[in-house]
């Protein structure tokens, strides 16, 4: 779900991102997914760190919750 309650379906059926840094995070996640052997948690962490470097509305204060 997005921040407004909309259902988000990944275009590639695998990776989705929402929020102000979503486009940056999804770009990083897709690149990492294609070229690295990372666990899903590691992929998310690294993608959000890249988004934090690029997006002025995103930072690197990241808390991950695994379900």
Residues 26, 27, 31: CA angle, nearest 5 degrees:
110
- Note the pLDDT of residue 1: 67
Whole-structure pTM value: 0.60
Per-residue pLDDT for the chain (67 aa), expressed as one digit of tens each? 677 888 878 877 788 888 888 888 888 888 888 877 888 898 888 888 888 888 888 888 989 988 8
**Structural domain boundaries enclosing 3:** 1-67
User: Which residue, among 54, 3, 2, has the nearest Cα to 25 in the 3D structure?
Assistant: 54
Domains identified in the chain, total number: 1
Q: Is 22 exposed, middle or buried (0-12, 13-18, 19+ CB in 10 A)?
A: middle
18: CATH:
3.60.20.10
């Amino acid at each position: 779900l997005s921040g407004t309650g909309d259902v988000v379906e990944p275009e590639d059926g695998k990776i989705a991102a929402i929020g102000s840094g979503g486009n940056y995070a999804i770009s990083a996640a897709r690149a990492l997914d294609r070229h690295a052997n990372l666990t899903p948690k590691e992929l998310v962490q690294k993608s959000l760190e890249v988004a934090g470097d690029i997006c002025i509305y995103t930072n690197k204060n990241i808390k991950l919750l695994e379900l």
